[in-house]
Chains A and B, each alone.
Chain A
C-alpha cells in the first residue's frame, strides 16, 4: 500500500506543474486551453531528443519547458493577432503539435535505455541517501527508494514553483495578468495591454505543462508523442478537485489547491488500481471532475438548509 502511495505521490508531484499551468489558463483566462495536450508532449519529446543527443537531463528538461512555452506563444498569437477564438486556437495548435512532436522524436515513441536521464540521477541519489536503489521497508511494507527520491525532487520543484508564482502574481505585472483575464475592459481602462497579458499567461501555462511532460517521460523511462493525450482533462480534474477542497480563497491558496488536488487525484487512482484492474481510468477522471464540480455546491446547499436561520444570518 505504501508502495502505491509513494508512486502516486511521485506522479502527482511530477504532474503538479501541469496542474498549475491548467490553473493559469482556466482560472485566469477562463478557458480550457487544449494546447496543453500538445505542449505536454512537446516537453517530453524535446527533452528526449536532446538527451538522446547527449545533453544533460537538467538542461534538456529546461529546453523542453521552453519548447512548451513556444507552443503556448503560437496559440496566443493566433488569438491576439489573428483574432481566432481561444478554444479553436488551442485545438489548432494541439493538432499541429502532434505531427511536430513526431518529427522532433523521429517516431512514435522512444524508450530510454542508455541515456542519462533524471531517473539515472534518482537511482544515484537513492543509493547515496538510502544505500539502495531498490526497495525500502517501512512498517514492514516495501516501497521504491527511487520513487521516494522522485517525490522529494518533484515535490521541491512544486514548492519552488508555488513560491515563484505566488510572488509573481503579487507583482504589478502579475496583477495585470490576473485582471486582464478576469475583466479585460477594466484592465484596458487602467492601461494594461490585454494582448500581452494573454500571451504571457499562455506561454507560462504551456511551459509549465511541458515541464511536467519532460519529467513524466524521464520518470517512465520513455517518451511518446501520445504522452499529452488527455492531459487537459486530467489537469482540469486536478484544478477542480483542488477548488473543491480549498474553495474561493486567496490566489496563493488556490494555487496550492491545484497541487493538492493533483496529489489527491493520483492517490485515489492508486487506491483503485490497488483494489483491482481499472480499465476505465479516463472515465474515472471524468467522474472525478463531475463530482468536483457538483458536490461542493450541493454540500453547501445541504449545510445551509440544516443550519438554523439565525446561524445563517
Chain B
C-alpha cells in the first residue's frame, strides 16, 4: 500500500501536469479549429473607402471584385462590400474611418493615400488592405519595406514608370533638352512622383522643370509659366489636382504647340501623345488575393506589400499628328492601345 501509494504519488506528479498540458493543447487546437471554421463560415464586412471617385478607383473596384471571385469567394455568402466615398473631403474620410470601429466592419479596403493616412493614424483595430496608392512609405508609420510593415496592414502600391516614359520621350523628341511638370505640393503622392521624375529625367539627360500649383484657377497660368521656361514637352505626373484640371493644361499646351506625355489612361483621349498608366485593375486583383488570405486566417503582418507590375502603354496618333510628331513604329507595336481616327 505504502509502495503503491508512493508510486501513485510519484506518477501523479508526472501524469497530472502531462494530462493537463495535453488537454490544454487539445482544447487550444479545438478552439483554433472553431475559430477557423468561424472565419471560413462567417460573412465578412469589407468597408471600401475611397477619397474621391476617379477612373483609377473605378478600375480598382472592378479588379477587386474580380480578384475576390478568382479567390473562390462568393459575395453575400463570404463577404459583403460596403462602399464609402468621401467625395474629396478630409473630414468625411476621418468620420468614415472612425465609423468602422463600431459598425461591424471586419476589414478596411483603403483606396488612395488620403484614405490610407487617417486609417493608419487610427491605429490597430480591423485589418487594412490598401490599393491605388503611389507609395505607402510616404506615411512614415507604415513601415520600412515591403516585408517590414505595420502588423495590421498590407496592400498593393504603384511602381513608377518614369524610365520607360523617358525612353519614349527620347525616341519621339530626340532633340529635347528639357521637360516640365506641374505638381500639387500639398499632395504627398505628387511630391513623391515629382522627385521620381526629376531623378529619371536626370538619368535620361533631360532637365526637368517643375511648377508647384495647388489652386485650380492658377493651373492655366502656371502651365503657361512652365512653358515659358522653354521646355520641349510637358511630362505630367499623376496627382489629384492636375488630373482634375488636365483639360486646361492640355488647352494651354495645344495653344503653345508643346506636346504632352502623361500617366493617366483617360488623358490619352484628352490629347496626351503617350500615356504609361499603371493597371489598377491588376493591382486590385492582387489586393483581393490578400483579402482572401486574411479571411482564411493569415495575418496581414505575414503578407508582404505588393506592387503593380502591369502598365498600359497608350499611344494617341491623332495627338502626335496634331503636334507634328511621328511616333516610331516600335513604340506603336509595343502599345497596348493605339488611338487613331477619332473624328
Cβ A277 vs Cβ B87 within 8 A: no
- Binary flags per residue of B250-266, CB closer than 8 Å to A gives 1, else 0: 11101111000000001
Q: Does A205 contact B (CB under 8 A)?
A: no
Complex: A108 Cα to B243 Cα, angstroms: 12
Number of interface residues of B (CB under 8 A): 38
Cβ B225 vs Cβ A274 within 8 A: yes
A108 partner, pick from B52, B186, B269, beta carbons under 8 A: B52
- Find the B residue at minimum CB distance from A271: B221
Which of A167-175, A191-199, A222-230 touches B? A222-230
Contacts of B269 in A (CB 8 A): 113
B87 partner, pick from A4, A102, A111, A144, beta carbons under 8 A: A102
Q: Does A11 contact B (CB under 8 A)?
A: yes
Which of A77-85, A278-286, A292-300 touches B? A278-286
Complex: A112 Cα to B269 Cα, angstroms: 11
- Binary flags per residue of A176-187, CB closer than 8 Å to B gives 1, else 0: 000000000000
Q: Does A59 contact B (CB under 8 A)?
A: no
Contacts of B304 in A (CB 8 A): none
Contacts of A7 in B (CB 8 A): 220-221, 224
Complex: A205 Cα to B66 Cα, angstroms: 49
Cβ A273 vs Cβ B218 within 8 A: yes
Given contact pairs A111-B266, A221-B251, A11 touches B217 in the complex (Cβ within 8 A): yes
Complex: A221 Cα to B89 Cα, angstroms: 22
Complex: A269 Cα to B212 Cα, angstroms: 15
Cβ A220 vs Cβ B216 within 8 A: yes
Cβ B218 vs Cβ A278 within 8 A: yes
- Binary flags per residue of A208-235, CB closer than 8 Å to B gives 1, else 0: 0000000000011110111100000000
Given contact pairs A108-B54, A222-B248, A98 touches B214 in the complex (Cβ within 8 A): no
Interchain nearest-CB distance for B104 vs A (Å): 24
Interchain nearest-CB distance for A142 vs B (Å): 8
Contacts of B214 in A (CB 8 A): 279, 281
Q: Does A247 contact B (CB under 8 A)?
A: no
Q: Does A30 contact B (CB under 8 A)?
A: no
Cβ B212 vs Cβ A279 within 8 A: yes
- Most A C-beta atoms less than 10 A away, residue of B85, B218, B246: B218
Contacts of B89 in A (CB 8 A): 98
Q: Does B270 contact A (CB under 8 A)?
A: yes
- Binary flags per residue of A87-128, CB closer than 8 Å to B gives 1, else 0: 000000000001100100001110111000001000000000
Q: Does B245 contact A (CB under 8 A)?
A: yes
Cβ A146 vs Cβ B255 within 8 A: yes
Complex: A134 Cα to B248 Cα, angstroms: 14
Complex: A135 Cα to B253 Cα, angstroms: 11
Complex: A135 Cα to B254 Cα, angstroms: 9
- Most A C-beta atoms less than 10 A away, residue of B185, B186, B211, B247: B247
Complex: A281 Cα to B213 Cα, angstroms: 9
Q: Does B137 contact A (CB under 8 A)?
A: no
Interchain nearest-CB distance for A297 vs B (Å): 30
Q: Does A237 contact B (CB under 8 A)?
A: no
B244 partner, pick from A109, A112, A279, A281, beta carbons under 8 A: A109
A146 partner, pick from B218, B222, B251, beta carbons under 8 A: B251
Complex: A225 Cα to B240 Cα, angstroms: 13
Q: Does B340 contact A (CB under 8 A)?
A: no
Contacts of B255 in A (CB 8 A): 133-135, 144-146
Contacts of A112 in B (CB 8 A): 247
Contacts of A219 in B (CB 8 A): 248
Complex: A221 Cα to B245 Cα, angstroms: 8
Q: Does B53 contact A (CB under 8 A)?
A: yes
Contacts of B85 in A (CB 8 A): 108
Complex: A270 Cα to B221 Cα, angstroms: 7
Q: Does A3 contact B (CB under 8 A)?
A: yes
Complex: A99 Cα to B246 Cα, angstroms: 24
- Find the A residue at minimum CB distance from B251: A221
Q: List 20 A-B contacts (CB under 8 A).
A: A3-B224, A7-B220, A7-B221, A8-B221, A111-B270, A113-B269, A134-B257, A135-B255, A142-B256, A144-B252, A144-B255, A146-B251, A221-B251, A224-B216, A225-B87, A225-B88, A273-B221, A273-B225, A279-B186, A281-B218
Q: Which residues of A contact B (CB under 8 A)?
A: 3-4, 7-8, 11, 98-99, 102, 107-109, 111-113, 119, 133-135, 142, 144-146, 219-222, 224-227, 269-270, 273-274, 277-279, 281-282
Query: Which 10 A-B pairs rank lowest in CB-CB distance, beginning with the nearest?
Result: A221-B247, A108-B52, A281-B215, A273-B221, A107-B53, A277-B212, A109-B244, A134-B255, A220-B248, A111-B247
